[in-house]
Structure 1
Amino acid sequence: MTAPLHPGRFAGKVLVVTGAAQGIGRAVALQAAQEGGAVLLVDRADFLAEVVAEAGASAAGFQADLETYDGAEAAMRFAGERFGGVDILINNVGGAIRMRPFSAFEPEQIDAEIRRSLLPTLYGCHAVLPHLFARGGGTIVNVSSNATRGINRVPYSAAKGGINAITQSLAMELAERNIRVVATAPGGTEAPPRRVPRNAAGETEAEKCWMADVVRQVKQSSFMKRYGTIAEQVAPILFLASDDASYITGSVLPVAGGDLG
């Protein structure tokens, strides 16, 4: 299953897609380029150049650590220099590093989850604003999660709840500047094996069991009793990024088979 194409939907638009080397971010960036956008793919993975080549001549890549403000600011500055401005930012970086009961998290692991899944979006939203102001408007799409309600990932849930709050508050603040801020909240999503694992240390046997518990909970909570596909996540992200959603701002759209999170 592939997301439907809308040729020319992003013609004349410059998009920045973060976390673009794999998974949902990769698919979003590739389709945005197919639909006429000039796309900057941002990731810290060494193989980012392979995805940029796949995206074609209208795309460029920028390696950055978006868990730092300097990385976010440098990426937005590069987009402005390379393409002459920024119209759309899709904040896609994030993902639970560990699945475990909250009582089993160590303090540094809690910090790591917040750095991974909240700060790149917070920093990205801030760093892109001068570019959107210069453009006279634009759109920010944040990729949140329905995991604001779920087991074995409380720090990740807190980070994604923060993204929902950023989306709603920033939308209210920026509406008068002609800037929309919206989000999707994906549920469990089937994806190819990650080339860079979320937890570089690997999973313990206990973590594998806790992860299996999460998978069961996610499928049971979904009305459809299944994971979604990447295409089912790409389509709403790009809809919200497009002018077709011009009267939608401050909204967090659950994309989780009926589980609102």
Structure 2
Amino acid sequence: MPESQRLAGKTAVVTGAASGFGRGIAERYAEEGARVAVMDINADGAAEVARAIGNAATAITVDVTDGPSVEAAMRSAIEAFGEIDILVNNAGWSHPNRPIMEIDEAAFDKVFAINVKSIFHFTHAIVPHWRSIGRGVMINIGSTAGIRPRPGLSWYNGTKGAVNTLTKSLAVELAPDRIRVCGIAPVMGETALLETFMGVPDTPENRARFVATIPLGRMSKPSDIANAALYLASDEASLVTGVNLEVDGGRCV
């Protein structure tokens, strides 16, 4: 492999990798020499991404809200690769942008299960493995919503605030095990959840109104998040842990 590959010889698990940020991260990791487990509840989508990546990828179906499903998926990844160096907890969901009283309990439970409880399940599934090999890197995809919350997404904002805090807490607790834990907080991006976040039709006019709140003048793209995730996973970040890296064009300033 070329020496320029920053993840040469490493292995990674990326959840929610059938589309959006997760797909971008999985593809970037493979480009940089990693073997990647493309995990998603969408089995066909995960398989399509893995096929597009090629021999460096394997597709694994998982329900991130279900402990036994996560345990089985992680066993499959370890069996496929031998060891897992990197875990990206990217799978996420949002309720529609609506006032707090219009979001029912089922939607509340679902958003917390996918965005927060999934980290609980994956931590339980992978930390024993990392302790056995003496290393590991966890990257949690949070959001600017957990730093600069706005009306209409209150319960979603709460999940991302939890992700940001969990990232710091896990980083401190797992540091003695040589396990790094970092977070990424993207600004709203060009993904399938865009219209859900905006709460209005995805029109050029509505995009322009939101983009006007971002100092650098554009939304995030999967490549922006993938590049941040590449740095945090690489040996270049060997002394970096507990950070929530804002990839937001200045929105949180």
Query: Are residue 27 (structure 1) and residue 24 (structure 2) matched?
Result: yes
Deviation at 1:124, TM superposition (A): 1.5
Aligned twin of 2:166: 166
Aligned twin of 2:54: 56
SS at match of 1:39: strand
Deviation at 1:51, TM superposition (A): 0.7
How many corresponding residue pairs? 248
Conserved? CA contact 1:150–1:218, under 8 Å: no
Q: Which amino acid in structure 1 is aligned with residue 228 of structure 2? A: P
Identity of matched residues, %: 34
Residues 85 and 254 of structure 1, relative CA distance in 2, 3 Å threshold = same
Aligned twin of 1:147: 145
**Which of 32, 37, 42 matches 2:39?**
42
Residues 228 and 243 of structure 1, relative CA distance in 2, 3 Å threshold = same
Q: Which range moved further: 221-230 or 103-112? A: 221-230
Aligned twin of 1:87: 85
Q: Distance in 2 between matches of 1:183 and 1:156?
A: 17
User: TM-score, normalization: structure 2?
Assistant: 0.89
RMSD of the TM alignment (CA)?
Answer: 2.6
**Which of 216, 220, 227 matches 1:228?**
220
Aligned twin of 2:251: 259
Alignment of 1:96-175 (within 5 A): 96-148=94-146, 149-175=149-175
SS at match of 2:200: helix
Aligned twin of 1:181: 181
Q: Which amino acid in structure 2 is aligned with residue 132 of structure 1? A: W
Q: Distance in 2 between matches of 1:104 and 1:77?
A: 40
Deviation at 1:126, TM superposition (A): 2.4
Aligned twin of 1:241: 233
Q: Which runs of 5+ in 2 are unaligned?
A: none
Q: Which runs of 5+ in 1 are unaligned?
A: none
Deviation at 1:21, TM superposition (A): 0.4
